[in-house]
Structure 1
């Protein structure tokens, strides 16, 4: 008998469980899911990371950095689409790994995703707080430093705006996927309107001289910029965690994953090109809000508040979808016995995993409220890249192990496309700082201890194999 840590979850069992009393309500359609994907991808990347990458890494060649990151995501998205249409169950990469590679790999990727989503949600909540403070300041209102900063930062006691938005999102997700999707659709449409308005206005203020030198840091800077702005593309994977709640997942999920990635890529490249045409790339070193900065620099004062509203909507949608993804991964791991069963119990009316949602909300609130978040973009990136590598490898493995399984959407040119995805992701990992690699290893070691002393003993597969 194989060692228990390599036991795999039978695919038919996963489908059966997700369709029974422990399954989630199927309420999401193609439009809502597509907007969830766009909501998850377009946010902090376009309003924050674009300026950082231009100033420190890519210069005007950031458009090439976006193309490189987008291609890496495209190959991976094709792999995700095959799995999500074939295994429409909550958990995304965690679930795919359980079916193809075994329990230990599922645990590693699930533990990895927990870190990814926790850090994203906490970081985005802090960013949301910063934009709210700026909006108040634009109206001449200064919020008390003690209530907008964590302890140790400019006399702070608690980052209260970050806590407030997390509590709101927690309540929304408790109500259900449909309610979350409807709210997300409204704020995404507002965000897209603001981005298009910026591009249209900005085209009239482009100075071609700002594009020279086009590649000030060489190809090395372009590749490092691609590794940093990869953070901007994270999100299309989050919508696959909602597969169990999609009405026709076999068709809807591939459309939503690939469609949201394509639309977001076009908008990112357009905004990056306009930004660097409006303002010299070196001037973005002094700001964490490049879109608002560019508008102020060329003297379009009336657009400030509009950009701030768009940024708030963008950040809120990223916060919502990634929080949603975190709770679904947590729910799937709990349903499999790797976490306590209480976190997979469903609310009797809303049919959502309420205990898990509240726990995640509480943890993220404490992180955002009391801990200064620095050097976190890279930590999120390495976790996501690791997940992408495992999913891509799993596509190759399952094609060989179970070629007879019905695949409503097939990733083209297997194993070439998954192999290219793996190579892209490995290369981007090498571009990240060494300290990021070390932090990631420490997190995985902690996870292996948790699995050894709890997960492997309580796993639902243990009872099946011993009965």
Structure 2
């Protein structure tokens, strides 16, 4: 959840909310928490690879919908990795020892490195994840530490004069911007099969992660507007770098270049892991070609899926600016969250389904579905038409692919593990 987004997102949110940007993070956390709790409950019930696809099939029993959900989540991960590879490459060129190195060469090297780590194993991937998380969390804690002396110097309810004051519409717009700072529970769900005692561990992991991220984000938001006027924060190319430059000019700018590289790399690594496990899980459900479900004899990782996704994400990276594609997948991800929340509600009401260790009342998935649907409609009607049009095109492409491949789901999902994975 502590991804690279917060390093740039804080400026955009300040432009919408002024000094009240902290309120947007608080509201979006509550909104995201409902869906996060739904994912936590589902993880305690069905700790399987390809969690979103598995749950969709179990709840609705419609292979086409399962296919759409699975490939949408996978597409969101792959477009994110492709975008982040270029961000990392461009950041690396600002380091003195890498000046002049072509961005494409650095981006390709980064993708090969990430794929190699994922192939190496889940333990190795998580050690790298932990190192990157400590680094990016450390960067945010530096921002908070140097800015605390400025706390109390501004009115934290001051908003842009054109806004007309704090109202539901303003808060909703700010929450739409900051909502995606909290997602990460879907990545967690997709690696549940590789977690010890996932029925208990997964729910606590999601809840603790969201609570920790909320505390850090609120502190960062208050610090940012306390040190730099929100008008300047909104136009700064690197908002948090600007905060540190003013509050602690003695810290070398290169420090935040390195932190940004670690933060973006961490997000890319986790998205790659998620996509590979989702492909593996869908292959076991016979929704994707069976070879994608094979596991390497030595490393015990889905090596075919990892290699296949490397080809796809490299092609995306080389295709140039995919910002609109990324926006389209974000839009579709909100639809997926709505579908998954409703899936939990269906499964809760099905007498034959076993209860999980972590159960939530029905109002949680209902609230999560309504909020995600509201955010979906808001993003659909207030954004650029290109992203929705591209989203429709992606869905049409997935449907065509489904009709060509004519995949099938195993009839007995409880025995899906028996699909040959070599």
Q: 1:223-302, aligned counterparts within 5 Å?
A: 223-298=172-247, 300-302=249-251
Describe the shift of the 1:404–1:98 C-alpha distance in structure 2 as closer, same or farther (beyond 3 A).
Answer: closer
**Alignment match, 1:322:** 271
Q: Distance in 2 between matches of 1:362 and 1:425?
A: 32
Q: Distance in 2 between matches of 1:94 and 1:198?
A: 39
**Alignment match, 1:36:** none
Q: 1:49-198, aligned counterparts within 5 Å?
A: 49-55=9-15, 57-102=16-61, 103-134=63-94, 136=95, 139=96, 142-143=99-100, 147-148=102-103, 159-198=104-143
Q: CA shift at 1:391, angstroms? A: 1.1
Q: Distance in 2 between matches of 1:384 and 1:233?
A: 13
Q: Distance in 2 between matches of 1:82 and 1:331?
A: 22
| Further displaced range: 165-174 or 283-292 | 283-292
Describe the shift of the 1:380–1:284 C-alpha distance in structure 2 as closer, same or farther (beyond 3 A).
Answer: farther
Contact 2:22–2:221 (8 Å) recurs in 1: yes
Q: Distance in 1 between matches of 2:84 and 2:215?
A: 23
Q: CA shift at 1:271, angstroms? A: 0.8
Q: Name stretches of at least 5 consecutive residues in structure 2 with no aligned partner.
A: 416-422
**Alignment match, 1:34:** none
Describe the shift of the 1:315–1:142 C-alpha distance in structure 2 as closer, same or farther (beyond 3 A).
Answer: same
Describe the shift of the 1:455–1:61 C-alpha distance in structure 2 as closer, same or farther (beyond 3 A).
Answer: farther
Task: Report the 3-state secondary structure (helix = DSSP H, G, I; strand = E; otherwise coil) of the residue aligned with 2:323.
Answer: coil
Q: Distance in 2 between matches of 1:256 and 1:303?
A: 34
Task: Report the 3-state secondary structure (helix = DSSP H, G, I; strand = E; otherwise coil) of the residue aligned with 2:359.
Answer: coil
Contact 1:116–1:380 (8 Å) recurs in 2: yes
So what's the TM-score if we normalise by structure 2?
0.89
Describe the shift of the 1:51–1:109 C-alpha distance in structure 2 as closer, same or farther (beyond 3 A).
Answer: same
Q: 1:430-441, aligned counterparts within 5 Å?
A: 430-432=377-379, 433=383, 434-441=385-392
What is the CA deviation profile of residues 274-319 of structure 1, one whole-angstrom value per residue up to 9, with x for unaligned ones? 1111112222344342111222244614242332332222211111
**Alignment match, 1:16:** none
Contact 1:210–1:280 (8 Å) recurs in 2: no
Q: Distance in 1 between matches of 2:157 and 2:355?
A: 52
Q: CA shift at 1:132, angstroms? A: 1.7
Q: CA shift at 1:403, angstroms? A: 5.4
Describe the shift of the 1:207–1:142 C-alpha distance in structure 2 as closer, same or farther (beyond 3 A).
Answer: farther
Task: Report the 3-state secondary structure (helix = DSSP H, G, I; strand = E; otherwise coil) of the residue aligned with 1:406.
Answer: coil
Matched residues, number: 404
Q: CA shift at 1:203, angstroms? A: 1.7
Task: Report the 3-state secondary structure (helix = DSSP H, G, I; strand = E; otherwise coil) of the residue aligned with 1:302.
Answer: coil
Contact 2:146–2:244 (8 Å) recurs in 1: no
Task: Report the 3-state secondary structure (helix = DSSP H, G, I; strand = E; otherwise coil) of the residue aligned with 1:338.
Answer: coil
Describe the shift of the 1:100–1:404 C-alpha distance in structure 2 as closer, same or farther (beyond 3 A).
Answer: closer
Q: Distance in 1 between matches of 2:315 and 2:397?
A: 20
So what's the TM-score if we normalise by structure 1?
0.81
